[in-house]
Amino acid sequence: MLNNQYEGTRKKFRWVSLVFGLIMAVLGLVVFMHPYKFALTITWLFSLAILLNGIISFIFWYDIGRDGYPRPGVLLIDAILDIILAVLVLTSSGPDKFVMLGYMFAFWFIFDSATSLSMASLSFHPGFNMVLGVLGLIMGVIMLFTPMIGAVTVAYLAGAYLLVFGILLVSRAF
């Protein structure tokens, strides 16, 4: 009885799923064929995300002090470095932007992982925060010395996700 109730919706969804799935799969293949162009586009988006993260961290740092608690200096440093990093990447151009993506991820991992380690005691799961902070630091240092790994990894992971998600949607259509 429940299946009959949604049969009309399911038929409509199959077409949407098929079309959207094909678009996603094709987009995934395009990313695999042109990772450089995708990385340039995604660099801009990640730069905006890092800028927003820096602004939010600064606001959080300010609110902590306003509420009467001591302001952690590392949080202020992290906010400032995030903002500076985002502005540097947003103002770079051409091939430099691709290399900047790798450095951007390296520094972002290092800054935020160091902040996570220093503020782990404030978390509900301090041990988990410390483990992830250490892993983030290690990955950040590796990407710092090989920035292209970060840039290429982002492009190929996004392409793989789009392709897999597209195939999943197409399979739901049948």
What residues contact residue 133 under an 8 Å CB cut-off, 6+ apart? 113, 114, 116, 117, 120
What's the whole-model pTM score? 0.54
Whether 1 shows a pLDDT value over 50: the answer reads no
Evaluate whether residue 114 is within a structural domain: no
Whether 161 shows a pLDDT value over 70: the answer reads yes
The model's pLDDT over 13-61, given as tens digits with 9 standing for 90+, comes to 677 778 888 998 998 898 888 887 777 777 778 788 889 989 998 998 8
Amino acid code (one letter) for 98:
F
Count of other CB atoms within 10 angstroms of residue 171? 11
State which residues form the domain around 45: 16-109+141-172
Evaluate whether residue 5 is within a structural domain: no
Contact 77, 99 (CB under 8 A): no
Evaluate whether residue 117 is within a structural domain: no
Axis-axis angle for helices 95-118, 73-91 (nearest 10): 170
Evaluate whether residue 121 is within a structural domain: no
Buried b (16+ CB within 10 A) or exposed e, 26-36: ebbeebbeebe
Count of other CB atoms within 10 angstroms of residue 90? 16
Evaluate whether residue 59 is within a structural domain: yes
Candidates 129, 136, 130, 131; CA nearest to 111 is 136
Whether 115 shows a pLDDT value over 60: the answer reads yes
Evaluate whether residue 81 is within a structural domain: yes
Burial of 72 from C-beta contacts in 10 A (0-12 / 13-18 / 19+): middle
Buried b (16+ CB within 10 A) or exposed e, 99-108: bbbbbbbbbb
Domain count, the chain: 1
Tokens representing 118 are: 């220093």
Question: CA 56 → CA 106, 172, 173, distances in Å?
Answer: 20, 39, 41
Mean pLDDT of the chain: 81
Evaluate whether residue 131 is within a structural domain: no
